[in-house]
Amino acid sequence: MRLRRFAYAVMVSSWAPDARERLETAALDLFVENGYEETTVAQIADRAGLNRATFFRHFADKREVLFGGEDVLAGLFGDAIRAASPDATLTGCLQAALVAADVAMNPQQRAKAAQRVLVAAANSEVQERGLLKHARIARSISAALRERGADEITARLGAELGMLAFSIAVERWMGSDDDEPFVVHAAAALRELNTRAAQLDSRSRR
């Protein structure tokens, strides 16, 4: 254990550019190894070769270290919707948002996402924070749609549909054996949701 920590600290020593990412990686590893509750901020900082003060410069609390990517996503989604063609349909805006997210959905993120699912499954406080982040990303989508002139109900519907497509796509992307990029899963999920949204007044049975 001590040796491993030492090796890790050397590996990510001062030349390592990104303290934030080191802390995230160390935290996820420790949460999976020892449990979320049992892991302290001091242990996370130690594993990352940093100190507690550095941790708290990057994250408000222990839960927050799990959700750094969510703030990035909220920005990517909002920017992509604002940048979409003025003629874009609501679906087109959501599609643009999901395509923009693809840059954040690399193999390292896929591994981290799988670790996070494990941690969240065992801890309802983590689930709660995840839902708060989810709600913030949804608000970023609805705000961007409103800026384009969408009315309140359309903007909120778009945000829910976009987040549902995103969630379904992430689940499939994490669960699939092949290396299909995230954006392929996202496009499929959005298409399937659209088909069903057009048939709300069809019978609920198949």
Place of tokens 């057009």: 198
What gap in Å lies between CA 66 and CA 13, rounded to an integer?
A: 22
Cα 146 to chain center, whole Å?
23
What gap in Å lies between CA 138 and CA 124, rounded to an integer?
A: 21
Per-residue string for binding with a copy of itself, 39-78, x by CB under 8 A? ----------------------------------------
Q: Is the dihedral of CA 168, 174, 176, 181 positive or negative?
A: positive
Which one of residues 1, 53, 124, 177 is an interface residue with a copy of itself (CB under 8 A)?
124
Which one of residues 160, 175, 180, 181 is an interface residue with a copy of itself (CB under 8 A)?
160
Amino acid at 193: L
Which one of residues 33, 37, 132, 176 is an interface residue with a copy of itself (CB under 8 A)?
132
What gap in Å lies between CA 41 and CA 32, rounded to an integer?
A: 15
Give yes or no for residue 88 binding a copy of itself (CB under 8 A): yes
CB of 135 to a copy of itself, least distance (A): 6
Q: Is the dihedral of CA 160, 166, 169, 171 positive or negative?
A: negative
Which one of residues 45, 73, 183, 193 is an interface residue with a copy of itself (CB under 8 A)?
193
- The binding site for a copy of itself (CB under 8 A) comprises 86-93, 124, 127-129, 131-132, 134-135, 145, 148-151, 153-154, 156-158, 160-161, 164, 168, 189, 192-194, 196-206
